[in-house]
Structure 1
Amino acid sequence: MADGQDGRESADMGSTLRDLQHWTGVIGRAQQMMLEHAAEAAAMTGGKTQEPIGALVSEMPGPALPGSATLPLPDPAAIARAQSEFWAESLNLWQGFLAKGQDAANSAFAIAADKDKRFSAPQWREHPLFDLIRQTYLMIADHLMKGVEELEDVDRRQKEQIRFATKTFVEAMSPANFAATNPLVLEKMFETRGENLLRGLEYMLADLRRGQLTQGDRTAFELGVNIATTPGKVIHETPLYQLIQYEPMTDKVLDVPLLIFPPWINRFYILDLKPENSFIRWAVEQGLTVFVLSWKSADETMAETTMEDYVLRGQAEAIDLVRDLLDVPAVHTIGYCVAGTTLAMTLAWLAATGQAAKVASATFFTAQVDFTEAGDLSLFVTDEQLKLIEKLSANTGYLDGRYMAATFNLLRGRDLIWNYVVNNYLLGQDYVPFDLLHWNSDVTNLPAKWHRAYLEDFYRGNRLVEAGALNIAGTPIDLGRVETPAYVEAGREDHIAPPESVWKLTQHLKGPIRFVLAGSGHIAGVINPPAKNRYQYWTNPGTFSSLEDFIAGAVETKGSWWPDWRNWIGERSGGTVEATGARIPGGGKLPPLEEAPGSYVRSR
């Protein structure tokens, strides 16, 4: 009997020793990986005067909070009320768990936790400890956010800054983001014997080397092969952009061509992802002669690039190129996001110089001209951020696109940062192939001088809506002179260009305007092909002074707004012509330079 017991004890000790050796090995491998990364980083930065982008981005101060000396003291009664509510809810929560979960499962925070996708896995509910952790977290988070609202005698911008900073902190401190308080991570650790953490560490160190968070499989897509594949050719190139013309897919095309201006802060192929969700391909299939500008990612040669360059040597020049190539009096235009802001300036300049007839219509995708309600992005336009931009671009004259990527990710930190920290760094899961995330990670450098002026003149000064406050080549800009028919699309859930801000376009432009409120946000609200039958959009033919009034009487239509836009633009396109001659890339006076999507979109 004793011999058998001794044998079991010996076996147990052997198993324990093997486990100890295994986990010691895991820790050793992790330490070795971090030491190698540190040595590599030291070798890369040794002797350089400029800090690596990863280090600088990590120092991003975010929305600056007002100094403590400027913050008014909260109302003592409000503090007492908040404390009373907090302790009452804490007591109720603990009583529920002490009563074996009878009340805890039905608490307001349990219901909220069940709806929160961070805590949707059954493991968060099945184990009382983790159920308590998630509900306690949500209770504390709720009271922190309520505390911001209790602040009195704080101006609107200060309160928005405090609210955003508090929300960012609350999201970062979620128990789902830490291995020791996430039951899914603990399960995976025992299931894989720590391999998930080693794999996640590899992912994290790789991202540190790049100075950028990975959000999808970087090897899954190749430009011109399975993304940005609409047939076309580059027919013109300047130091600022390449002009792409696409092959017609119909025998006849609308007489008035379409010229698209994508945002220069991103790659143009957001409008030409996979064939099934490509707006460009769809527009070509609808019988439009489509041209697109592919902006150059900034380098040292663009250090002095300014607003005038994007208006005159970008948009206005391209309008004339297409008109001359096809021998047509006017073109349809689309401006997406910041390119829509610049399109409004181009239209104002054309109007002021007697050239407004060159543009038959202007479509604005989630674009802003009035920045009084520009959303959380405006909170980043602080003295600290402007100084950081100077620091980042001091030696090059351009702003590394990874800085802007980090800023946009921070606006939706729960989805665009912490989701990947948990899934990839902690759980060690492989990255999934997703065309939209591939594009989102494909950053573009910005001319620092122009980017700073954009932030100061528009987000800070709101000078574009002040007649004559800005000028192009000495010509004052006045949006009130723009009478070009306009189609304005806003995303109901847009966090970059909020619909309330996009709506203001209708108050500043003076021509006939069709405003459409699309379901979803800044990207999915725009990239919504009809075949998928997703989301919805709202229209209202009346005249309104506010977005609220528009919504109150709006008609909802299921599916994509693209067909609505096609009908609208078709009514302003005259007849059709044969898709021959100059309607085919290379068939006119501009010979093809290379195949679409071109070389500028590939430059880094």
Structure 2
Amino acid sequence: MSESTQLSASEKQAQLMEQLNEMVECSQQLLHHYVQQMQGESFSIPDRGVVAKAFMQLAERMLTEPDKIAQAQSGYMQGMLSLYQSVAKRMQGEDVVPVVEPEPGDKRFKDDIWRENPYFDFLKQSYLLASQSILDTVRGIESLDPKTAEKVDFYTRQYIEALAPTNFAISNPQVIKATLDSGGENLRKGFAQMLQDLERGKGELRIKMTDLDAFELGKNIAVTPGKVVFQTPLMQLLQYSPSTETVFARPLLIVPPWINKFYILDLKPKNSFIKWAVDQGFTVFVISWINPDESLAERDFEDYLLEGTLAALDAIEQATGESAVNAIGYCLGGTLLMCTLAYLAATGNAQRIKSATFFTTLVDFSEVGELSVFVDEEQIELMEKQMEKKGYLEGSQMATVFNMLRPNDLIWSFYVNNYLLG
């Protein structure tokens, strides 16, 4: 019995040593990637220089408005005093009303322990009070120009959300429990996963958000039968097989975005829009955009119109004999479809698209919301220089932008689940 136990312990020790060696080797590779990045010209979204400049302007303006800082500090001190009084009453057995509560929909503090345990309840409320005080401070500086104020507000929220107690092993009760239950195995697994993600990003952390091996063509991705009937250097045109005895004469063309691929509309039979449209009797065509590389460096938006939507219209007419279609544009695909409608109207061919439907498509670009933080003249110039050098913008850099719009859901929840909970 003791020999078996000793053998098991030896095996665990050998396994641990092997894992540590793998971590050391991976860390050396990461250091190599880091040195290469520092020696070369680095480009990142967001640009560090742009962020630093915004906060330097904030610091300058804060010196001219000390009263606003004093007001925010006074509000914070009053809030903390109320919290201390609340804690004292709770320790004496009194029922107390929270001084501050998370916003509706904030999933970070949904576990009951954040309310029931006095320590974690205090930690949560003190974090929320500090967060609000910081935001009140930067939002109270009225002399900042609107563009800079928008950047400061956005990146301040990124900073605040990064420092949430849920993002640290020592202050997240779920992580503490998992660590005690597994003897620290969750943290070891999490660190190994982090090293893998850093290696995959060549020194930049690319958090794995899904199991790519979980997708099976025809089962839970691109489930509706169809085939490629036409292609250009920029796209392939798919036609789906009919599922009804008769079909409508007028075809349906779907123009998806470049970022989300066409199969976002065709993941499973029960929620596939493409399958639903086919089952209604439509002859469905969908554009599948190519993933660009250096060979497409000279292509621009006009080429996507000429060799994308317009070429698709010609191919559909050749395949079906119908000169007009109904069209759907999704996200940036909708933007391209709008431009196609304008082009057809200007050239006297408006009748080629009888109806156009838009899914999540921005029409008025005068107010683009928080995306404007990334699209000022300075940053656009930096992006264009990078694209001139490489020929395209990395998909991971675009993903970073969209993830930062919802950091708690798209960054920190994965950080906690992958690296802290293991």
Instruction: Tell me if both proteins adopt one fold, taking TM over 0.5 as the criterion.
Output: yes
**Mapping of residues 313-324 of structure 1, within 5 Å:** 313-324=307-318
Partners of 2:140 and 2:13 in 1: how far apart? Answer: 50
Alignment pair present for 1:175 and 2:169:
no
Partner of 1:304: 298
| Aligned mate of 1:254, from 245, 248, 254 | 248
Tell me which residue corresponds to 2:137.
147
- Superposition pairs for residues 111-150 of structure 1, below 5 Å? 111-112=101-102, 116-150=106-140
Amino acid at match of 1:221: F
Q: Provide the residue aligned with 1:499 in structure 2.
A: none
Partners of 1:320 and 1:272 in 2: CA distance: 24
Query: Deviations for 1:156-182, whole angstroms, at most 9, x for unmatched residues?
Result: 322221211111111101010011111
Percent identical among aligned pairs is 44
Q: 1:58 to 1:176 in 2, by over 3 A?
A: farther
Tell me, yes or no, if structure 1 residue 396 matches structure 2 residue 390: yes
Residue 54 of structure 2 corresponds to 66
Q: Work out the CA distance in 1 between the residues paired with 2:213 and 2:236.
A: 25
Amino acid at match of 1:107: P
1:263–1:337 CA contact under 8 A, matched in 2: yes
2:153 to 163, 178, 187: 163
Q: Report the CA distance shift for 1:421/1:317 in structure 2 as closer, same or farther (over 3 A).
A: same
Alpha carbons 1:93, 1:104 under 8 Å: kept: no
Give the alignment of 1:171-250 within 5 angstroms: 171-211=161-201, 212-250=206-244
Q: Pick the aligned partner of 2:27 from 31, 38, 45.
A: 38
**In 1, distance between residues paired with 2:44 and 2:390?**
16
Identify if the C-alpha distance between structure 1 residues 206 and 394 changes in structure 2 by more than 3 Å, giving closer, same or farther: farther
Match for 1:270: what amino acid?
I
> What SS does the aligned partner of 2:326 have?
strand
- 1:276/1:153 Cα in 2 relative to 1: closer, same or farther (>3 Å)? same
Distance in structure 2 (CA, Å) of the matches to 1:277 and 1:208: 34
- Report the 3-state secondary structure (helix = DSSP H, G, I; strand = E; otherwise coil) of the residue aligned with 2:270: helix
Shift of 1:341: 1.1
Q: Once structures 1 and 2 are overlaid, which stretch shifts more, 249-258 or 284-293? A: 249-258
* Matches for 1:62-101 after TM superposition, within 5 Å: 64=51, 66=54, 68-69=56-57, 72-73=61-62, 75-101=65-91
- Contact 2:222–2:267 (CA under 8 A) maintained in structure 1: yes
Q: Secondary structure at the match of 2:291?
A: coil
Q: Distance in 2 between matches of 1:214 and 1:173?
A: 21
1:427 aligned partner: 421
Per-residue CA distance 1:408-442 (angstroms, 9 max, x = gap) = 111111100000111111011xxxxxxxxxxxxxx
Q: Which residue of 2 aligns with 1:489?
A: none
Cα displacement (A) at 1:329: 2.8
Which residue is 1:291 aligned to?
A: 285
Q: How much has 1:149 moved relative to structure 2?
A: 2.9
Q: 1:210-238, CA deviations, whole angstroms, 9 ceiling, x for partnerless residues?
A: 22221122211123343111000101111
The one-letter code of the counterpart of 1:130 is F
Shift of 1:60: 4.5
Aligned equivalents of 1:366, 1:114: Cα separation in 2: 24
Number of corresponding residues: 405
Question: Residues 201, 59 of structure 1: CA spacing in aligned structure 2 closer, same or farther, 3 A cutoff?
Answer: farther
Alignment partners' CA distance in 2, 1:282 and 1:179 = 46
Deviations 1:174-226 (A, max 9, x none): 01001111121111111100100111112212211222221122211123343
Structure 1 pair 134/40, CA: closer, same or farther in 2 (3 Å)? same
Taking a change above 3 Å as real, the CA distance of residues 63 and 409 of structure 1, as seen in their structure-2 partners, is farther
Give the AA of the match of 1:309: D
Residue 61 of structure 1 deviates from its aligned partner by 3.2
User: Over residues 308-330 of structure 1, what are the superposed CA-to-partner deviations in whole Å (9 max), with x where a residue is unaligned?
Assistant: 11111111111121123211231
Q: 2:358 aligns with which of 364, 386, 390?
A: 364
1:11-51 deviation line (CA, Å, top 9, x unaligned) = xxxxxxxxxx9x99999777644421123346779989996
Alignment of structure 1 residues 100-115 onto 2, 5 Å: 100-101=90-91, 105-109=96-100, 111-112=101-102
The one-letter amino acid of 2:48's match is: P
Q: 1:96, 1:104 within 8 Å by CA — same for their partners in 2?
A: no
Say if 1:170 and 1:264 are closer, same or farther in 2 by CA, change over 3 A: same
Matched, 1:325 2:314: no
For 1:176, what is the secondary structure of its paired residue? helix
Deviates more, 1:56-65 or 1:173-182: 56-65
Q: In the TM superposition, what is the alpha-carbon distance from 1:69 to its structure 2 partner?
A: 4.5
In the TM superposition, what whole-angstrom CA distance separates every residue of 1:374-402 from its partner, at most 9, and x where no partner exists? 11112111455335535654553122211
- 1:537-576 alignment, distance < 5 Å: none
- Alignment map for 1:450-465 (pairs within 5 Å): none
Equivalent position of 1:338 in the other structure: 332
- Structure with the largest fraction of helix: 2
Q: 1:284 Cα deviation (Å)?
A: 0.7
Counterpart-to-counterpart distance in 2, 1:224 and 1:387: 42
Tell me which residue corresponds to 1:491. none
Distance 1:84 1:175 in 2: 24
CA distance in structure 2 between the aligned counterparts of 1:88 and 1:48, rounded to whole angstroms: 46
Q: Deviations over 1:271-293 (max 9, x none)?
A: 11111111111111111110000
Give CA deviations for 1:79-102 in whole Å, capped at 9, x if unaligned. Answer: 333222211111111122233446
Other-structure match for 2:412: 418
Secondary structure of the structure 1 residue equivalent to 2:102 = helix
2:4 match: none
| CA distance, structure 2, for counterparts of residue 225 and residue 62 of structure 1 | 46
User: Is the 8 Å Cα contact of residues 229 and 239 (structure 2) preserved in structure 1?
Assistant: yes
User: For the residues of structure 2 that align with 1:307 and 1:103, how far apart are their CA atoms?
Assistant: 65
Q: Taking structure 1 as the reference length, what is the TM-score of the superposition?
A: 0.62
- Kindly indicate whether the alpha-carbon contact (under 8 Å) linking 1:340 and 1:367 is maintained by their aligned counterparts in 2: yes
Work out the CA distance in 2 between the residues paired with 1:60 and 1:105.
Answer: 45
Q: Secondary structure at the match of 1:398?
A: coil
Matched residues in 1 for 2:37 and 2:57: separation? 39
Task: Tell me if 1:373 matches 2:367.
Answer: yes
How far, CA to CA, are the matches of 1:294 and 1:400 in structure 2? 18
Distance 1:46 1:170 in 2: 29
Q: Could you tell me how far apart the structure 2 residues matched to 1:143 and 1:24 are?
A: 49
Q: Which moved more, 1:99-108 or 1:221-230?
A: 99-108
Structure 1 runs not aligned, ≥5 long: 1-20, 429-604
Note if contact 2:89-2:96 (Cα within 8 Å) is conserved in structure 1.
no
Structure 2 letter corresponding to 1:108: V
**Deviation of residue 127 (structure 1)?**
3.0
Q: 1:121 to 1:183 in 2, by over 3 A?
A: same
Gap change, CA 1:114 and 1:251, over 3 Å in 2: closer
What's the RMSD between the two structures over aligned residues? 3.1
SS in 1 for 2:238: strand
Q: What CA distance in whole angstroms lies between the structure 1 residues aligned with 2:291 and 2:339?
A: 22
Tell me the distance in 2 between the aligned counterparts of 1:25 and 1:90.
Answer: 50
Residue aligned with 2:247, SS: strand
